[in-house]
Each structure stands twice: as structure tokens, then as C-alpha cells.
Structure 1
């Protein structure tokens, strides 16, 4: 199985990224430099391909112990198939980072420079200084906010081997002419089961934003204990509700607070919240409309993105707010939560029950979008028109072609682009294609996974 290694100096966030990609807390993280002294390894899945992820010890030669750690990390890099070189975006590049970059470039392996802790426009401008390393693939990320992680997956994915969708031997136009709408493009998915199962909805947010009040309003019962004491809810609280012939399974999770303020059994509650989201289809992200949004709100929002859920952003405590404030607050939200640009925003008062009833049809709509099959001929027409409007940039003078697109999964929708040079599809062009798809299909509230694939493993690029 192919191996991806995360390498870099101490305290740049390697172990946090390792845990993020592994979707579980494996590596110990702390603010103490040199916490990781050995390599952690685990099998992970990047979209539909399996690989081994390696968290290496920090590169530091200040003592004999750390010199041994550095040697082991560099040896692991030599045997890896893909290297992620991680740096601290809050710092300017220095000579040590430069030397590491040059040594990794000399290995002639797929290499990505992941610039972590990019949380503002100022950080983004500073990150441009790392271009001097000469690493072609640079991605700005924030592990704590879960931004840029999908771009990182998009870089890794083409370098991993897997079974390829059956090669039709057709080009784009031939495929559209001969496509049979009754054929089953989505592999082994029981659509009937998705249309009958309970819709699992996780309610997430900071402490004391009104999650328990919202659950009570949604199920029309005092199911969850409500108090002004932050952190009242510890265990997840489940309650079923019937609407339009469907069962909504609501789960009120424990409120999340800053790590430094988590006390006693609340540590277990945080783990249970993540377990709830693993089994959810849709997240209701509850925010306090009367307070400014902060870094913790962004991190909690990142959980919904991390688990690839449908999302509704709920502005609670709207009792005394004027409707004219709504547009201004939405603008602030869109600026902060760019990674949830697809999520609808609704203002409510859970305490007074105002507009709570608007959440039910929105859940149904988003779940329908979450599990829908996109009409393949229409999907390919959208891709074709998008490439006509803005042609795909060539790769060193070589033409880059999309032969056709095929949906291979849903919950959320997963689309494969069958191409001659999948590695040449830039992240920004992929975002352009996703936006083009969103304009034609109702995908409100759900993420779209777009993956570039080659028509055949052994087919030569022409």
C-alpha cells in the first residue's frame, strides 16, 4: 500500500493534520516542541483510495535525541510515495526550512508544501514568501479551522493507485451520444435504503448558544434539560420526530468550549460529539445571533465540513434583532465560513419557537440533495459547457482533456472526472467546475466531491 508522510519542523501542526486526515485522535498533540519523537502510522482513505499515513518526528538537530528523530524522519521520507512538507504560516521562511525544502526536492517524489495556520488575509500574504523554495504545489491550510484540507486531499489523490472506473473507450462527445440513462453509474448503492432510512441530524455549537432549547422546540417537548449554566448537556440526547412521512433523528450534542476550559467529564462529551457527527447526515450549526462569531465557532463549523455533512447554519436568539441585521450578519458569516459557502442560513428564536418550523422542510430538501443521483447526460453537458467557457489550462504545452464525468456515489454527491491528465487539473479549476455544477443542480446545503481520474492505469498520455 502506498505511503504518505507528513514532515516538517517541530510544532508546525503535523500531528494535528495526521489526526485530521485519519479522522480520529491517534497522535498526541501539544504546544510542547518535539511531542512526536517516533513515527505514527495508520491506514486511511482519501475519498475512495486506501493508503498509509505517516506522522514523522519534527526535524530538529539541537540535541542528540532530536538528531536521531530527524534522521529517522528523513529516512521515512525517502521510502514514501507522497511527501507533505508542513511549515508554520505564522512565521517567515528561514534557512532551516529552505534546507529541508531543497533536500526533499532532491528526492524527486510528489511533494506538496502545506502552509499551516493561515487564518487571515495577512497570513495569506505572508505565505507567498514560501514560493522561494521552488515547490510547485503550495496549499494554504488551517488544520484547526479545517480549511484547505480538501485541497490537500485533491493533491494526494491522483498519486494513489486504485481500481479505475471501467474504460468505455469513448471520448466526451461519443459518451454523450451513446449514454444509456437507465444504466447504473453509481456503484453498489442501495438508493431505496437511503430514501427510507431515518435522517440523522446532529445539533452542534458552542456552549450556551441554545442547542437544547432548539431540540425541545423541534420535537415540541422538554426533552433536553435547559439551563443558563454552560455545559449542562454532557451525554448526547436523541429524540425522533415524524415529518412528511420521514423520521428525523435529532441529537443534541454537548456544547464545545475552548480546550483550556474543558473540565472533567466534558472531555468525554467532546469525543461523543464527534462520534455523533460520524453517524449524522446533516448538522444544524447553532450560533448565537447576539454575540460576535469567533475562532471557536469556526472550528466547530469545521467539524461539519470534516465529516462531509449537509449543513444548515442556525442563527438563534433572534428575539430582539431587526430583520435588517440579517444581511449584515450573513455577510460576516460568509466571510468567516468560506468552506461552508453552500450552507443555507436561517434566523430563529428557539425559546419563543419563532421560525423553527422552517427547519423541517429545509432538512428534507438538503437530505434530498445529499442523496440525489445527478442526471449523467446533464452533468456532462454542464462540464462540457464549462470547459468551453473557460478552457482547461494546458500542462507544459500538452492538452488536458476531460472525456466524461460520472457520479460514483452520494451522501454527499461524489463525481469522477475521467481525464487524460488528471494531475494537471488545478485546485482552482476544480472549484470552478464545482461552482458550475451547483448552478445547474440543486445542491443547496451539501458539499460536492469532485475527483479527477485517468481512464486506465496503463494508458499512456497522448
Structure 2
């Protein structure tokens, strides 16, 4: 990704929690966290997504002047903050305000007024009451968070989006869009072939998820054509996620057999750690294979696990395993599935038996197909032509008599496909009309196995909408 809505620099003295906040925004452990001051020295960069929008995040070294090395680290960190679109100045809320923090904060604020004071390690309301003494910084915007407990992070994300709502957003959409609109509306098979070729050059990360003892490890072995994961009738045998690389028709893939997920009351010891690791795995997964046990009725826990797919916006294939001992016919199980998993109506469903190899080859083909859909980019001119046709067939409803228009659209991201609608009244885009547009797109493109995310926005207002 080479376009960003803005850059965000995390600045602060050692042990304020900068790298932990960096990892929290990245949804994975990229920066090493340690109680040893000065662990981070170089500026680490990462592309993050806040409410489906791309930002460049910068994790800087701690501001400390011990020796020549740390003086250079501090100098580099300050320069990074001065050049960023937004500074998050992090302080340790467990200690009283430090004079050195105020001095650094004021110095940064003079050179870059777009700065937030973020008071970290505020784990509960009692600590928050004691932390109000940080008001003496005079910061225009101050936030109390606990990175380790994910407390206050959503509020901070919303404030970041609001602060970076400027002319750069308009340029982000306009650069490519106007050029593409002038190219005409032709669309050929080459577009699909280009997308396929690009996908083959990448490694597809496939997470195998489901509750305990549904056959995830057996499925992994069947896909890899060998005994690569331990299979046992004892529920919860797999603790750590198992990464295994392989190939499907020349395409490099990485399968991750995640630890089985139990009900909360039954999570003990290592399995509690396994649940945490499973979420970490999904943060770096492209396609999720949701494994359901066809030999027994679905349960509430199946729905909760499936909800992780929606949370992480993954491509998905539903795998009905143990089909050789299914408790109902396909029609009956499909009816049960539609009742419980309405939010996965776009997902392909396969019946397999990992034990005897039923439909494993078909599953492999579906993985490649869903990934192509997940990574597919619609040419802007073609996208606008389709949406123009959609609005012609079914005009946008007015907003209390006021006309609502879509000026143009552009797909600004893939994995999953994310489309921006530039409108005169973005808040007037009703969810039912948005669903109509999604279905209209699905009639023209094969987006099975992947969501389509919409963002409606105007020149002076932004509002995320997703389907």
C-alpha cells in the first residue's frame, strides 16, 4: 500500500508503553516490548487500518539522554514527531507527571500543534481519577488508556480519524479516480488474469478455526497429505497454532491449525493462552476455514467463533466436516446454518470428511478461488459504470426531500475489497441501499467468500459504512 491518510508518530520516554501501543494498533506483535529501557532504537514503521482506512504508524525510540547512542535515538525520535501528521505523546499514568515530559511535550507542540497527550497504564476508574493531574500539561486533547487491557483504545482511534480529516483525504481518492474515469469503461478477461497472476506470487495464509474436536488437525493433515499435526480424540490436543507451508497447484500456502476454542468457563491454563494465540493468528490470516461438526447440531459457541471471521474481515470457506456420519441430510443442515450464520451468507459451503479425504481437492480449488476474490480490485471506470447502472435501476432514496447523489466511487483497498463512495450526503446512505449495491456488485463479479466494505464520504464529512 503506497497511499496513506496520514502518518502517526508515537513519542515518549522509555517504558511509557510506546511499543505496546504500536503492537495494539498493528493487531500483532511487531515491536519487541520489554521492561528494559531503550529496547526500541530505530523508528519502526507499519501500515495499520483504523476503521478500514490506511495510516502509516511510526514507533520511535525512548527519549533518554544517557550516552551518545541514546542522544541520537532521542534526536531521531523528535524529528520523526515533528514531521508526522499527528503525534501521540505517551506518558506513564502510574507515576506523577514529570517535568521532563512537560518540557518535551511543549517543545513538540510548538513545532507540531497536532499532538495528543496519551496517559497510559490507566487500568481502572480509580486510577483515572488520580491521573487527572496530567491536566497541568494543558493539552488540547488528552486520553486515558490502558494498552495492555485495551481500555480507551477505540476512543483514541476515533479521535485520530477526526484529527486527520483534512484535504489530504480528498486527494487520496481523487488522484487515481479521475485518471481511470477518462480511460473508458472497457473490461476484459485480462483484468482477472492479472489478479490471478498477482495472487500466485503471494503466500496465502489460511487459518483453520473451530471449537475443540471438530477435526481441524485431521483437516490440516488431509490438506498437507501427511501426518503433520497430532490428531487425538482428546479435546484440546492442539495448544499452540501449528504453521505448515505447502502448495496448491503451484500456489504457496501457509496453513495454521489453531488451538480448539472451548467455552469461557472451560478455558484453563495453557488453553487460555491458546485462545489468545488464536486471535493473534487470525490477525495475519487471509482465508479462514471455519470447521463445523456435521455429525452433531450446531451450538452457540460455533456462532461466536464464526464472529471472529467478521471481526478480522477475513475471506471464509465453511467446512462441514465428518460428513460421512452427518446427523441430517444437506438440506436440513443448510437450513440450520442459514438460521445461525446469516452474516456468512456469502460464504461457500463444502461437505468433507477429513478422515477419508472426501472433497479435499475441491476444498483446495475453493481456497484459490476465494483468495482471488479476496484480493480482487475492480477497475475504477468499470466500478463507476456498474454503480451508475445500479442507481439507474433503483435510484437513491431522498433524505427528507433532499436529493442524495453518488458522484463517483473508487476501490481503495483489497483483502477484503473496500470501496469509497464520494457523495453529497454520505450520512443519508441507508444500510438497505448499501446492501442493494453489494448484491448488484455480486451479480457482476464473483465475490463469494469475501465481504465487500463500503465507505460513504463527502468533502467535509466522513462516515464509515460497511456491509
Cα pair distance change 1:291/1:371, threshold 3 Å: same
The superposition leaves residues 197-229 of structure 1 with CA deviations (integer Å, 9 ceiling, x where unpaired) of 111110000000000111111111111111111
| 1:404 paired residue number | 408
**Alignment check: 8 A CA contact 1:216 1:222 kept:** yes
The CA distance in 2 between the partners of 1:433 and 1:158, in whole Å, is 27
| 2:79 paired residue number | none
The CA distance in 1 between the partners of 2:315 and 2:239, in whole Å, is 24
| 1:297 paired residue number | 302
The CA distance in 1 between the partners of 2:367 and 2:176, in whole Å, is 39
The superposition leaves residues 44-79 of structure 1 with CA deviations (integer Å, 9 ceiling, x where unpaired) of 711106799999x9xx9xxxx89x89x99xxxxxx9
Pairing 1:19-98 to 2, within 5 Å after superposition = 45-48=50-53
Question: Match for 1:329 among 330, 333, 337?
Answer: 333
| 1:391 paired residue number | 395
| 1:284 paired residue number | 289
Pairing 1:35-434 to 2, within 5 Å after superposition = 45-48=50-53, 161=165, 163-166=168-171, 179=184, 194-321=199-326, 325-434=329-438
The CA distance in 1 between the partners of 2:305 and 2:251, in whole Å, is 28
**Alignment check: 8 A CA contact 1:164 1:456 kept:** no
Deviation, 1:394, is 1.5
The CA distance in 2 between the partners of 1:180 and 1:393, in whole Å, is 26
The superposition leaves residues 387-435 of structure 1 with CA deviations (integer Å, 9 ceiling, x where unpaired) of 2222212223211100111111111111111111112112222122111
**Alignment check: 8 A CA contact 1:315 1:348 kept:** yes
Cα pair distance change 1:160/1:345, threshold 3 Å: farther
Deviation, 1:298, is 0.7
SS of 1:202's equivalent? strand
The CA distance in 2 between the partners of 1:408 and 1:336, in whole Å, is 32
Structure 2: 5+ residue stretches without partners: 1-5, 7-23, 30-47, 56-85, 89-117, 134-139, 143-156, 188-194, 463-467
**Alignment check: 8 A CA contact 2:421 2:455 kept:** yes
The superposition leaves residues 129-174 of structure 1 with CA deviations (integer Å, 9 ceiling, x where unpaired) of xxxxxxxxxxxxxxxxxxxxxxxx99x98997253243769999x9
**Alignment check: 8 A CA contact 2:28 2:280 kept:** no
**Alignment check: 8 A CA contact 2:27 2:280 kept:** no
The superposition leaves residues 165-202 of structure 1 with CA deviations (integer Å, 9 ceiling, x where unpaired) of 43769999x985654879xxxxxxx9976541111110
Pairing 1:448-459 to 2, within 5 Å after superposition = 448-455=452-459
- TM-score of the aligned structures, taking structure 1 as reference length: 0.63
The CA distance in 1 between the partners of 2:289 and 2:441, in whole Å, is 24
| Bigger radius of gyration among the two | 2
Q: Which moved more, 1:349-358 or 1:210-219?
A: 349-358
Structure 1: 5+ residue stretches without partners: 2-19, 26-42, 73-78, 82-152, 183-189
SS of 2:334's equivalent? helix
SS of 1:407's equivalent? strand
The superposition leaves residues 215-273 of structure 1 with CA deviations (integer Å, 9 ceiling, x where unpaired) of 11111111111111110000111222222111121111100001110011111111111
**Alignment check: 8 A CA contact 1:164 1:454 kept:** no
The CA distance in 2 between the partners of 1:170 and 1:214, in whole Å, is 43
- TM-score of the aligned structures, taking structure 2 as reference length: 0.62
**Alignment check: 8 A CA contact 2:383 2:409 kept:** yes
The CA distance in 2 between the partners of 1:192 and 1:165, in whole Å, is 31
The CA distance in 2 between the partners of 1:54 and 1:380, in whole Å, is 45
The CA distance in 2 between the partners of 1:204 and 1:291, in whole Å, is 17
Cα pair distance change 1:49/1:80, threshold 3 Å: farther
Cα pair distance change 1:235/1:205, threshold 3 Å: same
CA RMSD of aligned residues (A): 4.6
